Chain A
Amino acid sequence: MAATKKRTNPMLAALTTSALALPGLNVKADSAPEAASVGYRFYVYQEGDAPVDKLSSGSPERYSIYVNQFQLLAPLNESVSINFNYIQESMSGASPVGTEAGDGGESQLIMSAASIKESRRDVSSTVRWYAENGNLGMSVGVSNENDYDATYGGIDVERHFNKKNTSVKLASSVSSDTLSPTGRVDEQSKQFTQSKQSVSMVASITQLVSAQAMLQTGFGTTLLSGYLTDPYKALEGDVRPESKNQYTWSAGARIFFAAQDAAMHIGYRYYTDDWNINSHAVKLSWYQNIKYDIQLIPSLRYYVQTEAEFYDRYFTTARSDGFFSTDYRLSSYGAISAKLKYVQTLKRFSYTATIEWYDSSASYSYRNISFESPGLVNYVMFTTGLNFNF
């Protein structure tokens, strides 16, 4: 066969080369980030006070939390990266213990004393290997509080198909937790200690649908076992099953609007479990690029859940299965969250500031809820932080 020499259009060759040089466009292989980066965030989380007119006992001053968060991401070579994460939280304030019947039959809120002071430290690391058509990550972490310890780990693998138009991701994680509530002793007058475990699996698929849009959908399950009762609420009456099977279906879209130089994020998650809780969560974000490397990101999230089958605002007779709880988190309600984020990039630095308002209420549910838990939370969270790319 005679060798033939193809003529190459220099302009086309230059355009193709420059296109392939764009991040993420390399169809040859996934690869580690080219340079290391560090990030820091400081969060101030403040819950609104409990309603005094519905307070049975305890302090109305709910939680204030300050959080420091650090992250380091570094390439070890072209095909391996590692990241470290550190979170330190300082908490103070009172929290809802449960609800009970008031004189008129209405539910009254039992709060803890305001003297709760706690801290939590969470350290985790992920190593990621990048290959011809995908990547694999392995992570481990520990979370410590004076009354709660968790050790967790996970593995995830992503594979691209169809010239990277389609990606499939599988992830699995486990956690082993130990509870040792302050001031609570067992029958031998030793520290009351319990444990619980969880195993999670998620499978998702991502598909490019046009030059400006992509879709993702996934299924997940988490199986929890062990002591799932809240050890502090148990003192006022709270007994939950020792297993919980959770299932989720999620879907999302990313759409770029070239004329506006903006991206829209849409996300939805349906949740159901064998405690009879169902929920829907919808989130919409708009990433607006503005001059001078500024980005403004308004987001809205709507959440609604049904109550657990063993939840009630108070109990006058025991349930036949022996389970009961007045925890507001297991009640029926809806929640609305609004967030505004500002990002400014200056060469290798980027500065970020975020404010989020979160409000929950029975009236936000699309269902007709007869009795709202007086323990429902609302909060404001401020975030500020820096990222630096080496």
Chain B
Amino acid sequence: MKTHSARFKVGLILLLGLLSGCVAVQPWEREYLTKPEMLWTTDSMEATLEEHVYFSKEASSGGSTSAGGGCGCN
């Protein structure tokens, strides 16, 4: 168990080190990155409904950071 914990910590440190070593994109270089179509969720209303439909028709769900309740969907 200790070995797994140590490996996880080393992995986390390496990941953060790797990310901090990534090419930094300066604020004045972010014109394209800040466009509305580059958002992770561009339309929160439709995303909510889409997630609800897939949740009710497929066996798998999850991965979203938004809260939601179940339904009696048949």
Contact = CB atoms under 8 A, between A and B. Distances in A.
Contacts of A24: 30, 33-34
Interface stretch (A2-10, A101-109, A164-172, A315-323): A164-172
Contacts of A377: 57
Interface in A135-154: 139, 141-143, 145, 147-148, 150-154
A162 B19 contact: yes
A145 B72 contact: yes
A365 interface: no
Interface residues of A, number: 110
Contact of A179 (B31, B35, B68, B72): B72
Nearest to A376: B57
Contact of B60 (A16, A19, A95, A271): A271
A63 B49 CA distance: 16
A27 B30 CA distance: 11
A383 interface: yes
A305 interface: yes
A23 interface: yes
Interface residues of B, number: 46
B62 A220 contact: yes
Given A209-B23, A220-B63, A287-B37, A45 B53 contact: yes
A365 to B, nearest CB: 13
A67 interface: yes
A306 to B, nearest CB: 9
A183 B64 CA distance: 35
A22 to B, nearest CB: 6
B70 A175 contact: yes
A115 to B, nearest CB: 13
B67 A139 contact: yes
Given A145-B71, A208-B33, A354-B46, A263 B66 contact: no
Contact of A198 (B22, B23, B43, B70): B70
B38 A210 contact: no
Contacts of A221: 62
Contacts of A262: 37
The listed residue with most A CB atoms (<10 A of its CB), out of B28, B29, B59, is: B59
A271 B45 contact: no
Contacts of B72: 118, 120, 145, 147-148, 179, 181
Contacts of A196: 70
B1 interface: no
Nearest to A352: B43
Interface in A302-345: 303, 305, 308, 329-330, 335, 341
Interface string A233-271: 000000000000010101010101010001100000101
A6 to B, nearest CB: 19
B53 A381 contact: yes
23 contacts: A19-B27, A25-B30, A41-B49, A43-B49, A71-B44, A71-B45, A124-B67, A141-B68, A150-B70, A154-B66, A175-B68, A177-B70, A181-B72, A206-B40, A207-B22, A209-B25, A210-B25, A211-B33, A246-B62, A305-B59, A335-B58, A354-B46, A381-B53
